[in-house]
Structure 1
Amino acid sequence: MASTDAEAKLKWLIGVHLPENRNQWALEWRRQGRRVVGTLDCLIPEEIFYAAGMLPYRIIASHRADTPNAHLWRPVDVCRYCNHVLESLLTGELDFLDGLVFTDWDDDERRLYDVSHHLGKPAFNYIIHVPHQNSELAYNYYAKSLRRFISDLETALEVKVTDDALWEAIKIYDKMRRLLMKLYEWRKREAPPVSGAEALGIVLAAFFMPKERYVAELESLMDYLESRQTSLKRPQHRLLVASDRLDNLGYMELIEEEGAVVAMDDLDTGSRYFWQTAGSDSDPLYVLARRYISKPACPRMFFFDQQVEQVAQWVKEYNIDGVLHLPHMGSFDRLCCNPYFLERLTELGIPVMTFLREYHLANVGQLKTRIGAFLETLEARARPG
């Protein structure tokens, strides 16, 4: 593939998540008489929907500055992501969904399930408890919960999930994961092949495309990406961004416009979405339960030490100069983790800055000022003497 064609395809893939692009596959799925099911976090095994012949659709919500319809049902000062999802549900933007599957990621997602179930938008609403422990007991419990979920899904939406179909789904999803992990491996280079914003866009595309199509498109770009260099102008510092439900490339672009490169992330919309394959041993639901619980953790899992040590390991492997911690307002699990997160990284000698952000891109001037000041401290730290 010529480099100009490959670059055009890469830009297209990065733009799949944009509002004008992301629904095309879901709408085509519905036109073919097939089902589309929405999810809100990375704890639900999408392989189940794939095995059922359904299209999983990870929701990027409205990025409007205000959510007036949602405020009729939920307080203003709670999880901004959940309020934006509810706004999208109430305004009809997600009417193409046949179902919406929640977890108890946090209290806000549970309460969003209550509202969605009460409104009957969409008709099929389901919530699954995900254990907070990383243990054999947790894997077995979650596998049994997934088996019950499949039974209810088959009845409600008239689909069928077999073990053979699950293994086929695991195979294609693990191929996707290996491709993305290879791309992230290349980000360890002094001159990464993609910027942080581009990397986020590439991962977000997987939320909306049929996985065979996504894997084929990404695989066709790997030779080009291996030799590509980001177009960022002489980034001075390598940063890791940690957050949850960060699906707006504007945040990454703002950071990198200040003279840094986001060389790694601790995001459920980034590394934590695909890190770690499921494997092919044992029962397929046990394999999935183990993978989704034992992958790099988010704060809701409450083994904060493992999460922070994973970030510290990435800092070392990716030669990171500093960590930007960007919890979104109302992300109470991450805010609960924040004191330990900051204290432990500081103990390890890793510079870290926290900025409480909105779900949509807001407070741009303040954030630019804080990032600029943080980069100045990194510059001073790097000076000899």
Structure 2
Amino acid sequence: MDNFEMIKNGTLKAKEIKENGGKIAGIFCSFAPVEILDAAGIHIVNLCGTSNESIINSESDLPKNLCPLIKSSYGTAISDKCGYTYLSDIIIGETTCDGKKKMYELLSELKDIHIMQLPQGIDRSYSSLMWEKEVRLLIKILEEKFGIEITEKKLKEATSFRNNFRSLYGELFELSKLEPPAITGFDMYKILEEYKFNFDLKEEYKQLEELINQIKKDYEEGARPVDNKAKRILVTGCPLGGVLDKIVNTIENSGGVVVCFENCEGIKSIRNKVDENTDDIIKAIADRYLNIGCSVMTPNLKRIELLPELIEEFKVDAVIEVVLQTCHSYSVESRTIKKLITDTGIPYMALETDYSESNIGQIKTRIAAFVEIL
């Protein structure tokens, strides 16, 4: 199923939810605490931000030299090309990069947006307390806006379900540890994308579980979708939704296979679970999110710790870092990541790109040459 069809089908489901009195929250980022929204009985949708076509609409308000993800998100919203923004009763934003948080100010003219103030590092004693207060404020905002009560029981139920869900996604990622992998990186990422637009979490869990079992069964019976000579690539850096075909497809058409995504929508988010054995479930939820190794954190120690672990676990032959143009935090951090990877003796390459196809020839040439020397 392509992106257009997924979004179209999801929009129809969202309309049905609204017609039946349901509420929808739009989110942009892995820092949005989904357990809180689940406990509130609010359906969650990841807002659109992967289309190059909507970027031109944003440039009447936003500078041209801004991250394509931000411009695409805003352009999609103001041009009504994504019904999810229109159907959202509230949008949850977060102060990650400067471009996003200022874009939210403009978007707030169209929709009700609640911005969560994210600490810019976790090495201060008060960072955890600050974020915990932000999570508690979100609960208060949702209770007042929707006339509901988010109880401790509901929070614990939501936490347990989300932890199980993350474990299931972990099983999906484990399929790439096999030699050769049981699934291509492109197909895995498409699975991740498809479930962004599914509002029935229990049905999604069931479908994903069945899909994983089917892939395992097919593999045991001899199905090998990946050549055993394919070079095992870890992709790190910015979100890939707008450059998936340009980057991941090219890698896998050039003799490589992406076995691990250390991106926002990849493995680093699902590996963090909420501590359920706690007397303070809200604090435990807050603590879980601060352990996501995003480049907006300074210093970004969690990413530095995770990458060598993933390289060893997934038997990685090389690392490709993807940096979206003008994403300053990832762009500057790439120097640290390059040194980290090369010190392990693993080949590394950084690719800076946007959503357009203007540099697709250059990207393909560079990836093909990089994979060939492996």
**TM-score normalised per structure 1:** 0.88
Q: 1:362: Cα distance to partner?
A: 5.3
Contact 2:180 2:226 in 1 (8 A): no
For 1:311, the equivalent position in structure 2 comes to 307
For 1:294, the equivalent position in structure 2 comes to 291
Task: Give the 3 Å change call, closer, same or farther, for CA 28–263 of structure 1 in structure 2.
Answer: same
Contact 2:6 2:194 in 1 (8 A): no
Inter-partner Cα distance in structure 1 for 2:149 and 2:13: 21
For 1:144, the equivalent position in structure 2 comes to 133
1:193 equivalent to 2:182? Answer yes
Identity of aligned residues (%): 22
Task: Give the 3 Å change call, closer, same or farther, for CA 360–179 of structure 1 in structure 2.
Answer: farther
Q: 1:315: Cα distance to partner?
A: 0.8
- More off after superposition, 160-169 vs 75-84: 160-169
Of the candidates 363, 367, 384, which is equivalent to residue 363 of structure 2?
367
- More off after superposition, 354-363 vs 217-226: 354-363
Q: How does 1:1-385 map to 2 (within 5 A)?
A: 18-65=6-53, 67-92=55-80, 93=82, 94-117=85-108, 119=109, 121-122=110-111, 124-134=112-122, 137-209=126-198, 210-227=200-217, 228=219, 229=223, 231-248=225-242, 249-250=244-245, 251-282=247-278, 283-295=280-292, 297-359=293-355, 363-378=359-374
User: Runs of 5+ in structure 2 lacking a partner?
Assistant: none
Q: Read off the aligned partner of 1:239 and give its amino acid letter.
A: I
Task: Give the 3 Å change call, closer, same or farther, for CA 32–224 of structure 1 in structure 2.
Answer: same
Q: 1:337: Cα distance to partner?
A: 0.4
Inter-partner Cα distance in structure 1 for 2:5 and 2:333: 29
Q: 1:334: Cα distance to partner?
A: 0.3
Contact 1:308 1:345 in 2 (8 A): no
Cα-to-partner distance string for 1:5-38 (whole Å, 9 max, x where unaligned): xxxxxxx6x9798433343432222121111111
Inter-partner Cα distance in structure 1 for 2:237 and 2:6: 20
- More off after superposition, 334-343 vs 220-229: 220-229
Cα-to-partner distance string for 1:105-137 (whole Å, 9 max, x where unaligned): 1101111111012x2x22x11111122333664
Q: Read off the aligned partner of 1:111 and give its amino acid letter.
A: K
Cα-to-partner distance string for 1:308-361 (whole Å, 9 max, x where unaligned): 331121111111110010111121110110111112211221111011011456
- More off after superposition, 307-316 vs 220-229: 220-229
Task: Give the 3 Å change call, closer, same or farther, for CA 230–111 of structure 1 in structure 2.
Answer: farther
Cα-to-partner distance string for 1:179-212 (whole Å, 9 max, x where unaligned): 1112212311112121111111222233222322
- More off after superposition, 341-350 vs 197-206: 197-206
Task: Give the 3 Å change call, closer, same or farther, for CA 71–54 of structure 1 in structure 2.
Answer: same
Number of residue pairs the alignment of both structures matches: 362
Inter-partner Cα distance in structure 1 for 2:254 and 2:285: 40
Contact 2:39 2:155 in 1 (8 A): yes
Inter-partner Cα distance in structure 1 for 2:92 and 2:224: 37
For 1:4, the equivalent position in structure 2 comes to none
Task: Give the 3 Å change call, closer, same or farther, for CA 337–130 of structure 1 in structure 2.
Answer: same
Contact 1:280 1:287 in 2 (8 A): yes
Task: Give the 3 Å change call, closer, same or farther, for CA 17–300 of structure 1 in structure 2.
Answer: farther
Inter-partner Cα distance in structure 2 for 1:153 and 1:362: 43
